[in-house]
């Protein structure tokens, strides 16, 4: 028989949910915040990356629903850098965050936008992007133009211009910390 619990505030609600849904060992388990949930999914998406330098995952979210995902890698049908004997950018000595046009790969954010387009998913504001790495300037411009209003990122990327562009466009940019605000 279920027990009804009167809940008057958010902390009591979370405590009641935790008590009602114990972990496998019998201990109550608190649900992750929405930011934690989406960032965990972005990390799983990043695990599909074939990039030899860094694995990045991005997801586009609206009203707490995932619209599209993407990870960094070469265009469909093109060889992966590992298959070609190494990273093209490494061979040319190009530092991270510079000369983005000299890359065989698309970025995770670009692939998420492309996946939305391929599958007819409309990206209308407000859209949020959860990404395991701060967007570069190219991705920042694309995210602004598809209506992303909030970006939650985990890792740093050396691109100050991207940060300035996002700020100028009024995009809320938030460095992820476990337990972020979106409950």
Strand pairing category for 127-133 and 148-155: parallel
Cβ–Cβ contacts within 10 Å for residue 49, how many?
A: 21
Which tens digits make up the pLDDT trace of 130-178?
999 999 999 999 999 999 999 999 999 989 999 999 999 999 999 998 8
Burial class (CB in 10 A: 0-12, 13-18, 19+), 36: middle
Instruction: Enumerate the active-site residues.
Output: 109
Which tens digits make up the pLDDT trace of 85-135?
999 999 999 998 888 888 999 999 999 999 999 999 999 999 999 999 999
**pLDDT at residue 132, as a whole number:** 98
- Residues comprising the chain, all counted: 183
Burial class (CB in 10 A: 0-12, 13-18, 19+), 99: exposed
Closest CA to 68 of 157, 171, 142: 142
pTM for the predicted model, two decimal places: 0.82
């Amino acid at each position: 028989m279920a027990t009804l619990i009167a809940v008057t505030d958010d902390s009591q609600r979370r405590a009641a949910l935790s008590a009602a849904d114990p972990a496998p060992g019998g201990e109550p388990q608190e649900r992750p915040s929405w930011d934690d949930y989406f960032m965990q999914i972005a990390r799983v998406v990043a695990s599909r990356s074939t990039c030899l330098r860094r694995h990045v995952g991005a997801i586009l979210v609206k009203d707490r629903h995932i619209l599209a995902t993407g990870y960094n890698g070469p265009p469909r049908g093109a060889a992966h850098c590992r298959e070609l004997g190494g990273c093209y950018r490494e061979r040319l000595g190009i530092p991270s965050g510079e000369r983005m046009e000299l890359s065989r790969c698309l970025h995770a954010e670009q692939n998420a936008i492309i996946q939305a387009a391929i599958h007819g998913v409309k990206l209308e504001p407000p859209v949020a992007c959860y990404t395991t790495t701060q967007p570069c300037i190219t991705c920042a411009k694309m995210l602004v133009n598809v209506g992303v209003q909030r970006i939650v990122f985990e890792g740093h990327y050396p691109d100050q211009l991207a940060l300035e562009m996002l700020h100028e466009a009024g995009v809320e940019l938030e460095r992820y910390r476990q337990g972020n605000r979106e409950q």
